[in-house]
Structure 1
Amino acid sequence: MQTDQFIPNNKVSKKTILAIIGTGVMSFCGILLETAMNVTFPTLMHVFGASILAVQWITSGYLLVASLVMTLSSYMHKRFKLKQIFAWAVILFFIGLFLCVSATNFPVLLIGRLISGVATGMTTPLLFGIINHDIPLQKLGRYMAIGAIIVSMASVGPTYGGIILYSLGWRAIFWIVLPIALIASVLGLLNIEQTRPVEKPRLDLMGFVWLAGVFILISLAFNEAAVHGWGSLNFWILLLLGLVAGGLYVWHARHFAFPLINITIFKYHRFVLSFVAYALCQLINIGMSFLLPNYGQLVLGVNSLLAGLLLLPGSLLRLFLMPFGGVVLDKRGAALPIITGISATLISGILFFSFQSILSIPLMTIFYALFSGGFSLTFSNLLTDGMKQLPGKLKGDGNAAFNAIQQYSGSIGASLMAAFISISEINAHGLSTVSATARGSQNDFLVLIGLELVMLVLQIVNFRKARKQIGAN
Structure 2
Amino acid sequence: AIGPTFSGWMVDSFSWRYIFGLILPITMIVLVISLWTIKNVIPQRKTPLDVLSVAESTIGFGSLLYGFSAAGNDGWLSANVLIAIGAGVIVISIFGYRQLHIADPLLNLTPFKARNFTLGTLVGCGVMAAMIGFEIVLPMYLQIIRGLSAIDSGLSLLAGALVTAFMSPIAGMAVDKYGAKRLLIVGMSILTIGTVPFAFVTTHTSLVAIIVLYAVRTFGISLSLMPASTLAFSTAPMALMGHASANNNVARQIASAVATAVLVSVFANVTKANMPVKHLLSVDPLAYKRGAFDALLSGYHVAFWLTAFMSLIGLGLALLAQERPATDSVSNEAIATDHMVPAEQV
Q: TM-score range by the shorter chain?
A: 0.7 to 0.9
Partner of 2:109 in structure 1? 263
Contact 2:181 2:227 in 1 (8 A): no
1:243 and 2:100 are equivalent in the alignment: no
Aligned equivalent of 2:71, options 215, 222, 225: 225
What is the 5 A alignment of 1:144-163?
153=1, 156-163=2-9
Residues 1:414 and 2:260 aligned together = yes
- 2:122 and 2:297 mapped to 1: Cα distance? 29
Contact 1:425 1:440 in 2 (8 A): yes
Could you list the per-position Cα deviations for residues 146-173 of structure 1 after superposition, in whole angstroms to 9, with x for gaps in the alignment? Answer: xxxxxxx4xx322111123334544554
Larger-gyration structure (1/2): 2
1:165 paired residue among 1, 8, 11: 11
Is 1:437 the counterpart of 2:296? The answer is: yes
Offset at residue 216 of structure 1 (A) = 1.1
Secondary structure at 1:257 match in 2 = coil
* TM-score of the two chains, using structure 2 as the length reference: 0.83
Residues 335, 305 of structure 1: CA spacing in aligned structure 2 closer, same or farther, 3 A cutoff?
Answer: same
TM-score by length of 1: 0.62
Q: Comparing both chains, which one has the higher relative contact order based on Cα–Cα distances under 8 Å and sequence gaps of 6 or more?
A: 2
Q: Is the 8 A contact 1:158 1:289 kept in 2?
A: no
Distance 2:80 2:31 in 1: 44
| Inter-CA distance 294–326: structure 2 relative to 1 (3 Å threshold) | same
Tell whether 2:323 aligns with 1:466. Answer: yes
Q: Which residue of 1 aligns with 2:152?
A: 306
For residue 207 of structure 1, what is the amino acid of its counterpart?
Answer: S
CA distance in 1, matches of 2:182, 2:235: 18
Partners of 2:144 and 2:303 in 1: CA distance: 15
Task: Calculate the aligned-residue CA RMSD, in Å.
Answer: 2.5
Say whether residues 1:366 and 2:220 are aligned partners: no
Partner in structure 1 of residue 330 of structure 2: none
Structure 2 residue identity aligned to 1:447: L
Question: Which amino acid in the other structure matches residue 104 of structure 2?
Answer: F
* Structure 2 counterparts to residues 70-469 of structure 1, below 5 A: 153=1, 156-170=2-16, 173=19, 184-194=30-40, 198-356=44-202, 358-427=204-273, 428-430=275-277, 432=289, 433-462=292-321, 465-466=322-323
1:466 partner amino acid: E
Question: Residues 390 and 196 (structure 1 numbering): CA distance in 2 closer, same or farther, change over 3 Å?
Answer: closer
Displacement of 1:460: 0.4
Q: Deviations over 1:107-144 (max 9, x none)?
A: xxxxxxxxxxxxxxxxxxxxxxxxxxxxxxxxxxxxxx
Letter of the structure 2 residue corresponding to residue 446 of structure 1: W
Shift in alpha-carbon separation, 1:166–1:218, aligned structure 2, 3 A: same
CA gap of 1:179–1:423, structure 2 versus 1, over 3 A, is closer
Alignment CA distance shift 1:195-1:220 (3 Å):
closer
Change (3 A) 1:302 1:456: same
Pairs aligned (count): 315
Distance 1:170 1:222, change over 3 A: closer
SS in 2 for 1:255: coil
* Kept in 2: contact 1:225–1:235 (CA 8 A): yes
Tell me the distance in 2 between the aligned counterparts of 1:379 and 1:257: 33
For residues 24 and 55 of structure 2, the distance between their equivalents in structure 1, rounded to whole angstroms, comes to 34
Letter in 2 for 1:434: F
Does the 8 Å contact 1:421/1:436 carry over to 2? no
Counterpart-to-counterpart distance in 2, 1:309 and 1:434: 23
**Cα gap change, 1:241 to 1:374, in 2 (>3 Å):** same
1:178–1:392 CA distance, 2 compared to 1 (3 A): closer
Contact 2:5–2:158 (CA under 8 A) maintained in structure 1: yes
Q: Residue 217 of structure 1 contacts residue 238 of structure 1 at CA under 8 Å; is this kept in 2? A: yes
**8 Å contact from structure 2 (residues 185, 318) kept in 1:** yes
Question: In the TM superposition, what is the alpha-carbon distance from 1:356 to its structure 2 partner?
Answer: 3.9
Q: Report the Cα distance in structure 2 between the residues aligned to 1:446 and 1:305, rounded to whole angstroms.
A: 26
Instruction: Determine the C-alpha separation between the residues in 1 that align with 2:102 and 2:224.
Output: 35
Percentage of matched positions with identical amino acids: 27
* Deviation readout 1:298-353 (Å, 9 max, x if unpaired): 11111112111110000001111111111011222102221111011101111111
Contact (CA 8 Å) 2:11, 2:151: kept in 1 or not? yes
